[in-house]
């Protein structure tokens, strides 16, 4: 009888899960209690402002950020001594004296400052009169609307608080309503963790927050935040302490609805200009918002949000756990079949990127646009030896080109400051940046030789420009950005040096982030694998861009000659892809950086079809490095295993990421915790790149277009029995919708935006109008595979684990702009 009853209950739950609106399982984070810490609060943002909503009842806190509020002021950190010591450092490295070279680098190359930090601006606090015994509580974040809501009941009155960062009006909107007339009596205040002043005047509170000096760089920025109240009740100025001379709070009496508009700004104009007028900006933005009703503000916000967010949707199966509050759903994910939780994480990554990166704003930093820490981990800077790039991995493939403008703006700025760095520090043409930068666009090295002696940050960033061209085929864009792409490649023409005893040219000094070979006590080296891979991409992209634009023939030939002198990749004694030119990998090393697999992802230099030796070596490296790591590293590993065409292993990494970490204080009790209650990624501590990495990884499991074809469902896990995806993008200007069942593709609809040859790759045979079997190499260069040198393979001691190279079907169809191609499985 018990068993029968249990089956009936399970059946009822299953029907409820399948029958309800999918917003909760796919598009909503929700909780049955208020947040008690920042990592439980819910993020809203419009790039310009970020806010963390705690969802309190009588006491509400909304933590605020303004994207340009950073410590320090305009400065650069280039060494004037490095060029004079460069030859000596190179000689020491070539003679095996890397530790001595590192000492010179620390002394004469890395002179500081070491980058400024992203600052929290303050808090909006709202306190309601009366008791705090609330019932019927729920708070949520609706990803498809970018709206956070809090619902509760006190003394028979239903209250709803709605928060959104307007995508069209630059302001944060907070609205509190009650279903009993005159039931709202509340006080609103602003405060900050730094020196600040507040003044209440009429229906506005204005807060001014002083910036911070750091490492000898004086504070050049001041933030101003203005909160304005609209209500059907009465607004009274208040002084909340005995010492204040002017009112510093606003009290609302007997209201049924209260709407607050918050605007924030600093005097930042750009990385070398701080002459802006924060008060003027706030006045303009508030005046524009004041001309609209609340419903108009919400309607315009939702329309713009859905334009960006609504073009992609992933659907996967849910189980009864999908009915749980999000933190509980995460806690029980490991033993569930709640694949819709993966879809939620996928959508959440897209949500966070839209909310933290919009045209005209700053690029998403190490924490997006959200930070409550006066000294954020790693200053919440732009770490450009992986983390900043990872932030934007989902942008092209998940149809978020609206978010890339701030990244491109950062690259443009660095191409200016980095030109000085290249010339002054290394005597090189072109431009470069090391492993970190900030809002002031420093390009010199920071922290120490072990981390900072990385000359490839600028070149890696420019690959995003080239990829944008591959996805869009936009020659006007390529022409505009060609000087930046060319400049990154020109740097290598001078920086690469002959390696003694070989015909190779190598980057020296350099590091493979952030470790050295076995037996070495420093990461400083010459010609590590990642150097050669990034230099290959930088030179190749510039070569191909000049060919497309039919310009710079002499320079193109110089670049081709230099590219041919790069060392090939090496396969070592443990059948691994070597991280360095010497065979010194430790097969038991599980370091979070797997930098030498850059060639597998995000680059396309390692292919199962054209480079099987490298493909197998990459598989061995991944097995040796293990399946657990910090949060962002797991995000990278999802993409690695997707490129290995191993969906089950990629999903295993996702499962490893979806382990709850309730808070940093409980890290010892949750050693495998990699996701916080609000689904922020845990390094730990919080870094947002892991969120973006897993979103890109899920997309990479469903579509790939880097290796000579548009590969449909290349890495579908067994657990994703059926599902659908709409709106993913492929190189060549294609947008793809797919459905699958019983682990196999059932139908795909491909929209060709620019025309051209479409080559499809699939694990199952396909049929469709005018589809023909492919022959030879695909003529569409927008997704052509990389042409690289044959690898050097050592005599192997251990053959390692072989990689699966699948049999596939390939088809061609010539498309016209606007054409829609529908194919099905045979």
Residue 249's CATH number: 2.70.98.50
- State the CB neighbour count (10 A cutoff) for residue 36: 12
Kindly report whether the peptide bond that precedes residue 685 is cis, defined as omega within 30 degrees of 0: yes
Alpha carbons 805 and 785: distance in angstroms, whole number: 16
Model pLDDT, residue 19: 34
Q: Residue 117 domain-assigned?
A: no
The parent domain of residue 56 ranges over 27-71+122-305
Q: How far apart are CA 344 and CA 570, in angstroms?
A: 39
Burial of residue 670 (CB within 10 Å: 0-12, 13-18, 19+) is middle
Whole-angstrom distance, CA of residue 647 vs CA of residue 653: 10
Strand (E) or helix (H) holding 699: helix 689-702
User: Helix, strand or coil for residue 317?
Assistant: coil
Is 259 part of a structural domain of the chain?
A: yes
Contact 616, 575 (CB under 8 A): yes
pLDDT of residue 797: 61
What pLDDT does 9 receive?
A: 34
Answer for the pair 157, 255: CB distance below 8 angstroms, yes or no: no
| Residue 589 in domain | no
Q: Is 261 helix (H, G, I), strand (E, B) or coil?
A: strand
DSSP H or E stretch at residue 24: helix 23-27
Instruction: Write the DSSP string, 736-751.
Output: EEEEEETTEEEEEEEE
Q: Which distant-in-sequence residues (6+ apart) come within 8 Å of 609 by Cβ?
A: 707, 708, 785, 805
> Three-class SS of residue 611?
coil
**Of 469, 488, 467, 486, the residue nearest 477 (C-alpha):** 469
Q: How many CB atoms sit inside 10 A of residue 22's CB? A: 16
C-alpha distances in angstroms, 34 versus 109, 191, 622, 627, 678? 49, 21, 41, 34, 12
User: How far apart, in whole angstroms, are the C-alpha atoms of residue 214 and residue 469?
Assistant: 39
pLDDT of residue 795: 64
Distance CA 161, CA 366 (A): 29
Q: What is the pLDDT of residue 349?
A: 98
Residue 137: HSE in the Cβ half-sphere, 13 Å Cα cutoff:
16
Which of 496, 492, 508, 420 minimizes the C-alpha distance to 86? 508
The count of structural domains within the chain is 1
How are beta strands 756-762 and 710-712 bridged, if at all?
A: parallel
- Give the mean pLDDT per block of 10 residues along the chain (826 residues): 37 37 77 98 98 98 98 98 98 98 98 98 96 95 98 97 98 98 98 97 97 98 98 94 82 98 98 98 97 98 98 96 96 95 98 98 98 98 98 98 98 98 98 98 98 98 98 98 98 98 98 94 97 98 98 98 97 96 95 96 96 94 96 97 97 98 97 98 97 98 98 98 98 98 96 98 96 93 88 73 86 98 96
* Residue 637 resides in a domain: no
pLDDT of residue 20: 39
Is residue 123 a contact partner of residue 191, using CB atoms and an 8 Å limit? Answer: yes
SS3 331: helix
What pLDDT score was predicted for residue 3? Answer: 41
Order across the sheet with 744-752: list the strands: 313-316, 723-730, 734-741, 744-752, 820-825, 766-767
- Asked if 628 and 592 touch (Cβ cutoff 8 Å), the reply is no
281 lies in some domain: yes
Residue 460 resides in a domain: no
Q: CB neighbours of 184 closer than 8 A, spacing ≥ 6?
A: 128, 159, 176, 178, 231, 233, 252, 254, 255, 256, 257, 258
Assess contact for 369 and 50: CB atoms under 8 A: yes
Helix (H) or strand (E) holding 476: helix 475-495
Other CB atoms closer than 10 Å to residue 259's CB: what's the count?
19
Phi, psi of 253 (to 5 degrees): -120, 135
Residues in the chain: 826
Return all residues near 687 (Cβ < 8 A) that are at least 6 apart. 366, 367, 377, 378, 387, 631, 632, 681
Sheet holding 222-231: strands in order across?
28-31, 135-142, 147-154, 157-165, 172-178, 257-266, 222-231, 204-210, 196-201
Alpha-carbon distance 51 to 43, whole Å? 6
Rounded-to-integer distance, Cα 126 and Cα 59, Å: 6
Burial of 193 (0-12, 13-18, 19+ CB in 10 A): middle
Please report whether residue 294 resides in a domain.
yes
CA atoms within 13 A on the CB side of 261: 24
In a domain, 574, yes or no: no
Spatial CA neighbour of 724 closest among 340, 307, 252: 340
Q: Report how far residue 41's alpha carbon sits from residue 55's, in angstroms, rounded to the nearest whole number.
A: 7
End-to-end CA distance of the chain: 46
């Amino acid at each position: 009888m018990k068993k029968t009853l249990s089956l009936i209950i399970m059946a009822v739950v299953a029907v409820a899960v399948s029958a309800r609106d999918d917003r909760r399982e796919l598009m909503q984070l929700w909780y049955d209690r208020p947040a008690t810490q920042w990592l439980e609060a819910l993020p809203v943002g419009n790039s310009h402002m970020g806010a963390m909503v705690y969802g309190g009842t009588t006491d509400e806190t909304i933590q605020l950020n303004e994207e340009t509020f950073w410590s320090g002021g305009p400065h650069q950190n280039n060494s004037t001594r490095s060029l004079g010591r460069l030859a000596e450092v190179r000689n020491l490295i070539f003679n095996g004296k890397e530790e001595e070279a590192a000492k010179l680098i620390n002394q004469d190359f890395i002179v500081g400052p070491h980058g400024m930090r992203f600052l929290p601006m303050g808090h909006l606090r709202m306190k309601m009169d009366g008791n705090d015994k609330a019932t019927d509580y729920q708070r949520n974040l609706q990803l498809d609307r970018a709206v956070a809501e809090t619902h509760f009941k006190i003394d028979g009155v239903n209250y709803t608080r709605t928060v959104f960062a307007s995508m069209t009006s630059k302001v944060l909107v907070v609205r509190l309503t009650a279903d009993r007339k005159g039931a709202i009596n509340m006080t609103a205040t602003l405060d900050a963790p730094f020196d600040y002043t507040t003044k209440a005047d009429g229906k506005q509170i204005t807060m001014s927050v002083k910036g911070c000096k750091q490492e000898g760089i004086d504070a050049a920025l001041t933030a101003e935040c203005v909160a304005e109240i609209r209500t059907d009740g009465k607004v009274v100025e208040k002084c909340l302490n005995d010492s204040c001379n002017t009112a510093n709070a606003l009290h609302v009496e007997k209201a049924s609805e209260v709407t607050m508009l918050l605007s924030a700004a600093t005097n930042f104009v750009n990385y070398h200009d701080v002459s802006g007028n924060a008060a003027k900006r706030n006045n303009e933005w508030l005046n524009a918002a004041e001309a609209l009703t609340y419903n108009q503000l919400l309607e315009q916000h939702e329309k713009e949000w859905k334009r960006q967010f609504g073009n992609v949707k992933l659907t996967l199966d849910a189980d009864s756990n999908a009915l749980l509050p999000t933190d509980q759903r995460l806690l029980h994910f490991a033993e569930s079949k709640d694949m819709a939780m993966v879809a939620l994480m996928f959508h959440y990554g897209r949500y966070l990127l839209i909310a933290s990166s919009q045209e005209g704003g700053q690029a998403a930093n190490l924490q997006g646009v959200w930070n409550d820490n006066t000294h954020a981990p790693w200053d919440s800077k732009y770490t450009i030896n992986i983390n900043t790039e990872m932030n934007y991995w989902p942008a092209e493939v998940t149809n978020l080109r609206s978010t890339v403008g701030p990244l491109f703006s950062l690259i443009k700025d660095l191409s200016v400051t980095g030109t000085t760095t290249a010339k002054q520090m290394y005597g090189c043409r072109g431009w470069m940046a090391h492993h970190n930068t900030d809002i002031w666009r420093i390009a010199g090295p920071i922290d120490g030789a072990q981390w900072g002696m990385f000359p490839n940050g600028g070149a890696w960033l420019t690959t995003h420009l080239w990829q944008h061209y591959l996805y869009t085929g936009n020659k006007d864009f390529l022409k505009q950005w060609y000087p930046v792409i060319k400049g990154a490649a020109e740097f290598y023409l001078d920086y690469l040096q002959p390696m003694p005893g070989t015909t190779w040219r190598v980057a020296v000094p350099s590091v493979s982030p952030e470790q050295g070979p076995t037996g070495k006590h420093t990461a400083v080296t010459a010609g590590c694998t990642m150097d050669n891979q990034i230099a290959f991409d930088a030179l190749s992209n510039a070569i191909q861009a000049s060919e497309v634009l039919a310009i710079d023939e002499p320079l193109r030939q110089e670049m081709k000659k230099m590219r041919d002198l790069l060392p090939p990749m090496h396969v070592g004694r443990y059948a691994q892809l070597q991280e360095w030119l010497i065979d010194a990998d430790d097969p038991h090393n599980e370091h979070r950086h797997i930098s030498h697999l850059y060639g597998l992802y995000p680059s396309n230099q390692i292919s199962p079809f054209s480079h099987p030796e490298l493909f197998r070596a990459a598989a061995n490296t991944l097995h040796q490095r293990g399946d657990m790591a910090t949060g962002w590293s797991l995000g990278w590993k999802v993409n690695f295993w997707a490129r290995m065409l191993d969906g089950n292993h990629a999903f295993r990494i996702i499962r490893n990421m979806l382990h709850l970490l309730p808070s940093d204080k409980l890290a010892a009790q949750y050693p495998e915790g990699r996701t916080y209650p609000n689904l922020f990624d845990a390094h730990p501590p919080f870094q947002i790149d892991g969120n973006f990495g897993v979103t890109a990884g899920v997309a990479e499991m469903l579509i790939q277009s880097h290796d000579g074809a548009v590969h449909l469902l290349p890495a579908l896990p067994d657990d994703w029995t059926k599902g659908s995806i709409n709106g993913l993008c492929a190189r060549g200007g294609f947008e793809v919708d797919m459905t699958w069942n019983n682990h196999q593709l059932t139908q795909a609809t491909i929209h060709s935006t620019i025309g051209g040859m479409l080559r499809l790759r699939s694990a199952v045979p396909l049929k469709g109008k005018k589809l023909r079997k492919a022959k030879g190499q695909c003529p569409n260069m927008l997704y052509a595979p990389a042409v690289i040198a044959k690898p050097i393979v050592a005599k192997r001691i251990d053959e390692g684990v072989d990689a699966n190279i699948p049999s596939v079907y390939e088809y061609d169809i010539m498309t016209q702009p606007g054409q829609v191609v529908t194919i099905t499985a045979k």
